[in-house]
Amino acid sequence: MSRNYFKIAVLPGDGIGPEVTNESVKILKVIGEVFNYTFKFEYGMIGAEAIFQTGNPLPEETLEICRDSDAVLFGAIGDPSFDNNPDAKVRPEQGLLKLRKELGLFANIRPLKTYTSLIEKSPLKKEIIEGTDIQIFRELISGIYFGEKFTEENGDYAYDVCRYSREDIVPIIHMAFKEAQKRRKKVTLIDKANVLDTSRLWRKISKEIAQEYPEIELDFMFVDNAAMQLILHPKQFDVIVTENMFGDIISDEASVIGGSIGLLPSASIGTSNALFEPIHGSYPQAKGKGIANPVASILSTAMMLDHLKLEQAADKLRTAVEHAVENKYVTVDLNAKQFYSTSEVGDFIADYIKYSEKIYYNFENIKIGKSTIV
Ligand code: IPM
Ligand code: MN
């Protein structure tokens, strides 16, 4: 029997996190009405906000709410008062890292596509980026992020250890191959196997696993070259799989292809929990101004719906987002001449889900606050 009741943990976090997450919650409520699902939202504190209020970037209560949920909707994390203070022992990011680790979210999936109406927005040439469609699989709970760390008392010496074991690598490599089966049948492992032992382990294990997927082409690329290839010839990539830090870096780089980092969603998947978050950060300069792009959070919500096996609702949501973007119903990062606020973009997408083709695309009416529905 299919389910229609879901517990969603909502962790808005810092900076623009609460604003963009609000739009996703608004949209989930509408999806609930239209498709007859009940979403129960439980809010939790995380990051700088949680440090200010409790001294802990991930209070136990928040962790419990997440463990007990069908999915976690996460906003953003980070605050300038910590970024500018290297001595701070307790940091907002620790909250997110601990949450990923505690929930066992080993695979971070970051899809990247171009929108026709935004091609001109990218600093890269149209012919290079048009039609790009990449799925990045980033390992999320091992490697240098989670190895032993040390800073000497005098502050002149520090290290971070990068460590991987077979168990960390096998599941995400399988996920990448399985995804490639549904797509263009190519997996590229990004590593630094000419220098790093951990990278050589990734190569060895992925070659072994490749035997089980004879129809998939497995390619290897050093991360420095990949950084260049991504913007020289992004269409050569189908599924990318890589370790934690390389994945962090190349996914920000890849966001330039899509026109704005404000568009890119992600899903972090574990064996019993899953978390959905935009790939962008907390953008503190924009906090509370209503200018943040909610699309990355909203598309993360679509990934959440897929994960909950509500594929029809997920498709509808993605279509609604495409309508907003292709009709230039976007925030200032995507159109500096004519733009809409965070909540106006959310409303437009919510209305499309509710009324679909009944929406009358009269942007002037929308701008002056008249109803958009005829
Ligand atoms: C991301 C972020 C995080 C990371 C930070 C906030 C810890 O940059 O999700 O990509 O580095 O993983
Ligand atoms: Mn990042």
Q: What is the pLDDT along the chain (374 residues), one digit of tens a residue?
A: 578 999 999 999 999 999 999 999 999 999 999 999 999 999 999 999 999 999 999 999 999 999 999 999 999 999 999 988 888 889 999 999 999 999 999 999 999 999 888 898 889 999 999 999 999 999 999 999 999 999 999 989 999 999 999 999 999 999 999 999 999 999 999 999 999 999 999 999 999 999 999 999 999 999 999 999 999 999 999 999 999 999 999 999 998 998 888 999 999 999 999 999 999 999 999 999 999 999 999 999 999 999 999 999 999 999 999 999 999 999 999 999 999 999 999 999 999 999 985 554 554 455 444 444 43
Question: Could you identify the atom of ligand 1 that is nearest to the CA of residue 78?
Answer: 6
Residue 143 · residue 124 · CB < 8 Å? no
Positions marked catalytic: 145, 192, 224, 248, 252
**Ligand lying closest to the C-alpha of residue 278:** 1
Residue 44 CB contacts under 8 Å (≥ 6 apart), including other chains: 9, 10, 11, 59, 61, 62, 65, 66
Outline which parts of the chain fall under CATH 3.40.718.10.
1-108+260-374
**φ, ψ at 55 (rounded to 5°):** 85, -5
Of the CATH numbers 3.40.1280.10, 1.10.730.10, 3.40.50.300, 3.40.718.10, which one belongs to the domain with range 1-108+260-374? 3.40.718.10
Model confidence pTM above 0.85:
yes
79 lines ligand 1 (CB under 6 A): no
Q: Domain 123-141+169-258 is in which class?
A: alpha beta
Copy the structure tokens of residue 32: 């609930």
- Report which protein residue has its CA nearest ligand 1's atom 10: 248
- Report which protein residue has its CA nearest ligand 1's atom 7: 93
Give the distance (Å) from ligand 2 centre to CA of residue 370: 39
Among the listed residues 113, 24, 31, the one whose alpha carbon sits nearest the alpha carbon of residue 352: 31
Give the distance (Å) from ligand 2 centre to CA of residue 279: 6
Strand order in the sheet with 239-242: 38-43, 5-13, 71-76, 274-278, 265-269, 107-113, 133-139, 239-242, 186-191, 217-222
**Of the residues 46, 96, 105, 249, which should be mutated to test ligand 1's pocket, given the most ligand atoms within 8 Å of the CB?**
96
Give the distance (Å) from ligand 1 centre to CA of residue 262: 15
Copy the structure tokens of residue 30: 């509408």
**Of the residues 72, 74, 91, 97, which should be mutated to test ligand 1's pocket, given the most ligand atoms within 8 Å of the CB?**
97
Residue 125 CB contacts under 8 Å (≥ 6 apart), including other chains: none
Outline which parts of the chain fall under CATH 3.40.50.
123-141+169-258
